[in-house]
Structure 1
Amino acid sequence: MLSGPPASATASAEQLLERFSSSSPRQRRSLLPQIEARSQELRPLLLQALRGHDPDGDDWIAGLWVQMLLAEDDNHSQALLEEYPGGWLNLASGDGIAYAPLQEALAQRSFELADRITSEVLRQLAGSEAVRRGYVFYSEVAPMPSLDLTSLDRLWVCYSRGRFGFSVQGRLLRACNGRWDQLWPRLGWKSEGTWTRYPSGFQWNLEAPEGHMPLINQLRGVRLMDALLNHPALQHRIVTG
């Protein structure tokens, strides 16, 4: 007896969205190709679907809906921008940082620009001397506001399908038993002590290895990245994420 077509092939757009939203993280990954293949059919439904997510969280499904809505300049993207002019994700700062430019870059999948903005924000959080010199000392990380490091991480997680962000890097380091020499290849970075942004040693898209972004300057060793990943705000997200 011949079986009929798989349920995924006959599911309505509404059913596919519901199945995707209620699935486990692993199941979501397997459904992504169907979501992307039916993007035109799904886009009229995404703004309403987005309203069902928490803008104070970091569910990457919501980030995916935003990116799909912004993929074309049409009524759907305009409706999104009108409803959420400052960006969908609610973000807090203890240092007066405006996160709209970073959220816009990530929502548009402009990952290289987002990485540069992230570096700028870290310098601002470190203080005027870090801004002047153009880089952050590891000793300047501990006083950084927890609100801001949490906001930075939430942004990267939300708009990368959960694949990028400080907390992702921290969990990968834990999986490597704290071995930095094992972490670099997993991130797709060259090695400790190298700065891989130029000329072409970095991959600025969602096909990059998990934890590939944001890029942390390793020219002075691992101390800056170690300080970031051990900040209480990020430790909380690493452990609970």
Structure 2
Amino acid sequence: MTEDYIQLQNRIVELEAKVARLETTLLLMPDVYRFQHLQKLLAAGDFREADQETIRVMLSITGAESLETITPNDVRAFPCNQLQAIDKLWTTYSQGKFGFSVQGQMYQEVGGSIDTTIAQDNSVIEKLGLLNGWRLNNKWQKCDELDYTLNAPKGCHPSRWWNSPFGSKMTNYFFNRLITCEIST
């Protein structure tokens, strides 16, 4: 190989990386200001703070004041494109390890479906919790006890969003929304 050819190959790799970054940024175009801080946190690998920021973003989308005031109806009406944007950021910056689509896919792998969300089948959620690190020794872990690095189990994050006063009922509603929006496939 000639040196010119090697330089050309290196330039192509650089351009591909720039295109990938641009594609991720363009994903945010519908609401760039809403997602910009989340993107920066995830790009920096600050998954703990990104988890908190995910809640802030979701609150701004629903117009709710706090996680405790988001209702199942809010979840049912959550815009699919907004969920896709949040998910794309998480999956991109976690190398495909975290994100709503990862969680939704895992939910389906342990037997979850539209039917189990409607039936409010908590056994499926418990199976998922064992698989993604949310449950240990038959107990739900507190979010502060979770690992916020890439060493965390697959599908562990975002995790704080799932802490709702509606409990597993809200979890079932949210998985229903992920499946309906085709984010878990």
Q: Measured at CA, do residues 151 and 224 of structure 1 come closer, stay the same or move farther in structure 2, by a change above 3 Å?
A: same
Q: Measured at CA, do residues 114 and 102 of structure 1 come closer, stay the same or move farther in structure 2, by a change above 3 Å?
A: same
User: What is the Cα deviation at residue 187 of structure 1?
Assistant: 1.0
1:228 aligns with 2:182: no
Q: Cα RMSD over matched residues?
A: 3.2
Q: Measured at CA, do residues 46 and 225 of structure 1 come closer, stay the same or move farther in structure 2, by a change above 3 Å?
A: farther
Q: Secondary structure at the match of 1:204?
A: coil
User: What is the Cα deviation at residue 218 of structure 1?
Assistant: 5.1
Q: Measured at CA, do residues 182 and 117 of structure 1 come closer, stay the same or move farther in structure 2, by a change above 3 Å?
A: same
Q: Measured at CA, do residues 183 and 231 of structure 1 come closer, stay the same or move farther in structure 2, by a change above 3 Å?
A: same
Q: Secondary structure at the match of 1:98?
A: helix
User: What is the Cα deviation at residue 121 of structure 1?
Assistant: 1.3
Contact 2:62–2:78 under 8 Å retained in 1: yes
User: What is the Cα deviation at residue 238 of structure 1?
Assistant: 1.6
Match of 1:91 among 28, 42, 65: 28
Which stretch of the first structure deviates more once superposed, 174-183 or 46-55?
46-55
Q: Measured at CA, do residues 214 and 133 of structure 1 come closer, stay the same or move farther in structure 2, by a change above 3 Å?
A: closer
1:208 aligns with 2:144: no
TM-score (norm 1): 0.58
Q: Could you say which structure has the larger radius of gyration?
A: 1
Q: Hey, what's the Cα distance between the residues in 1 that align with 2:57 and 2:127?
A: 28
Match of 1:152 among 86, 109, 112: 86
Structure 2 gap ranges (5+)? 113-123
Q: Hey, what's the Cα distance between the residues in 1 that align with 2:73 and 2:33?
A: 21
Q: Measured at CA, do residues 97 and 53 of structure 1 come closer, stay the same or move farther in structure 2, by a change above 3 Å?
A: closer
Aligned to 2:183: 237
Give identity over the alignment, percent: 25
User: What is the Cα deviation at residue 221 of structure 1?
Assistant: 2.1
Q: Measured at CA, do residues 154 and 221 of structure 1 come closer, stay the same or move farther in structure 2, by a change above 3 Å?
A: same
Q: Secondary structure at the match of 2:184?
A: helix
More helix by share: 2
User: What is the Cα deviation at residue 231 of structure 1?
Assistant: 1.8
TM-score (norm 2): 0.74
1:175 aligns with 2:112: no
User: What is the Cα deviation at residue 230 of structure 1?
Assistant: 1.9
Which stretch of the first structure deviates more once superposed, 110-119 or 215-224?
215-224
